[in-house]
Amino acid sequence: MRKVLLPLTLLSCTAIAAEPPAATKPLTTAEIIESATPSDWRRLDPADTLYLDLASGRVVIELSRHYAPGHVAAIKAFASARYWDGLAINRVQDNFVVQWGDPDNRKPLPKDLKPIAPEFSHATDKALPFTALPDTDGWAKQAGFTDGMAAARADGQQWLAHCYGAIGVGRDNAPDSGHGNELYVVIGQSPRQLDRNVAVVGKVWRGMELLASLPRGTSGGLGLYEKAEQRVPIKVRLATEVPAAERTNLEVMREDRAVFAAFVEARRNRRDDWYLKPAGHIDVCNVNVPVREIGVRP
Amino acid sequence: MRKVLLPLTLLSCTAIAAEPPAATKPLTTAEIIESATPSDWRRLDPADTLYLDLASGRVVIELSRHYAPGHVAAIKAFASARYWDGLAINRVQDNFVVQWGDPDNRKPLPKDLKPIAPEFSHATDKALPFTALPDTDGWAKQAGFTDGMAAARADGQQWLAHCYGAIGVGRDNAPDSGHGNELYVVIGQSPRQLDRNVAVVGKVWRGMELLASLPRGTSGGLGLYEKAEQRVPIKVRLATEVPAAERTNLEVMREDRAVFAAFVEARRNRRDDWYLKPAGHIDVCNVNVPVREIGVRP
């Protein structure tokens, strides 16, 4: 019997490139990605990169250079201070978030800790990069990308969107109660209702499968682990504080390039033989921005 | 130190009900659900209910009475024939699907097996229930529900949408190549590009956390398990073929009721103290339709 499978999500899909290829057969998504030149890729800056190491492998997080600078600085300071050593992932709520921090208040926070301004959105200005998608959704006037991270615009404001892999800062009811020591990652359908209510600080570029496959917690309707021994130990380090030979060096496709536009169009309108009805649309949270691992540069 | 957490997704949220409550404080989502009367709930018909039993627990699937009747009949026949006994979940692709079937072609299919007409969408008519959401997305002209399952409308057609928990029939390139023996469940951001390209046959009402937390496969870029021993054994039974005492009896909130409209509005505009900026919008795939377990009726 023939195997009946859904098609490859990446490799078997073909595309209408922004510039039509010479051949009559449209390029596959893989071919589009392969056609990217070195300048079409952006290397993650180790100074903005956080490694969340689990026993099962490494999660690579990029902290945004453009949004929530106060929160990002706080997170870097917690990482440098080894704040999360001995702490763990303590919450995995199905179709929502994975979260780590200090639910038992074991780690004292600095006594002089100052509240961080909310930074839940940012005034739209020319200094803040944004490459619009051709499509919109119902959550905002415009959707697009900043450094490959899903973003949205409305009302003169711009913010990072809660898509799969987005990382944000847990907070209490007070808008300035998020210190950056409790972080969550989206693991399900994009909870866009959180947009503009929390500081989104970055994105997981590698290792989502390690977070999303963790056992769900069952406590409090929040996905908290019932018992401390269920928690998943973590080690969090800034990439700059890891020896170069132990780093994971990633490059992300730049969104302001023709090759990215071709990639998006190939996802908006799937042209491989499996698809009967291309959607002619894509949601910003469905664009899996290309990322690749590279060797250590000499 | 105070715990810094994201808010409860369900219990702590408050609502503006369709009919404003007498009290000035808006009802919480939990209060809205509690206010539902028995007739606001629909009990799953055991004849349309499939149990996917794993070592870790039970996944409860409802097969739609309204969409893809040819595929649904085929699935019921496979279940009654114990077709999946000895087979397993063999594919878990992160942020996409969990799939089970017969990748090694161990189980012969009936020799007289006839192709099933595609059934990827259905002409919109009065006999096909549809309760519209107030909001739309970019994937279709209208979004809504049929029996609590996310659905969409455009071009005089209507179909079940690929939201988290939707179950569909894997197929090859030929539109009629899906026999119903290879099934998949959506476990990530809704892959709506699949809409109208596959027969969606139903929805998982309970046990998504068991499927979504399975280890991801690493083979072929498809999430296939590399080794046969990684596969997850399954037992699939129609609820009618399980003794009444062993059934899981679920009720789903009916979408054509005022209480459901109040529930949706409470999710569109979160009014609890945590939210600063209610979205004024919801995506059909973000509406977690209320479901509850009930005792066996005498």
What ipTM describes this predicted complex? 0.92
Sheet of B200-206, strand order? B232-233, B88-93, B97-101, B183-186, B166-169, B200-206, B57-63, B49-54, B235-238
Determine whether the interchain pair A184/B6 forms a contact, defined as Cβ–Cβ distance below 8 Å: yes
Chain B residues within an 8 Å CB radius of A11: 221
Instruction: Give the pLDDT confidence score for residue A184 in this predicted structure.
Output: 98
Determine whether the interchain pair B189/A109 forms a contact, defined as Cβ–Cβ distance below 8 Å: no
B28 Cβ contact list (under 8 Å, min separation 6): B11, B12, B13, B14, B15, B266, B272
Determine whether the interchain pair B5/A222 forms a contact, defined as Cβ–Cβ distance below 8 Å: yes
Query: CA-CA distance, A210 to A53, in Å (whole number)?
Result: 10
Chain B residues within an 8 Å CB radius of A97: 6
Chain A residues within an 8 Å CB radius of B136: 138
Determine whether the interchain pair A94/B120 forms a contact, defined as Cβ–Cβ distance below 8 Å: no
Instruction: Give the pLDDT confidence score for residue A220 in this predicted structure.
Output: 87
- The token pair at A220 is 């409090």
Q: Of A80, A81, A77, A97, which is closest to residue A89 (Cα–Cα)?
A: A97
Instruction: Give the pLDDT confidence score for residue B10 in this predicted structure.
Output: 33
pTM of the model: 0.92
- The token pair at B278 is 């209610």
Question: Does the pLDDT of residue B18 top 90, yes or no?
Answer: no
Chain A residues within an 8 Å CB radius of B164: 95, 188-189
How far CA A131 is from CA of A18, A151, A287, in Å, comes to: 15, 9, 13
Sheet of A88-93, strand order? A232-233, A88-93, A97-101, A183-186, A166-169, A200-206, A57-63, A49-54, A235-238
Determine whether the interchain pair B279/A139 forms a contact, defined as Cβ–Cβ distance below 8 Å: yes
pLDDT digits (tens, 9 = 90+) for B37-79: 999 999 999 999 999 999 999 999 999 999 999 999 999 999 9
Q: What radius of gyration do chain B's Cα atoms show?
A: 20
Determine whether the interchain pair A189/B189 forms a contact, defined as Cβ–Cβ distance below 8 Å: yes
- The token pair at A224 is 């908290």
Instruction: Give the pLDDT confidence score for residue A4 in this predicted structure.
Output: 41
Instruction: Give the pLDDT confidence score for residue A22 in this predicted structure.
Output: 52
Residue type, A37: T
pLDDT band at A297 (very low <50, low <70, confident <90, very high): low
Candidates B169, B177, B193, partner chain A, best to mutate (most A CBs within 10 A): B193
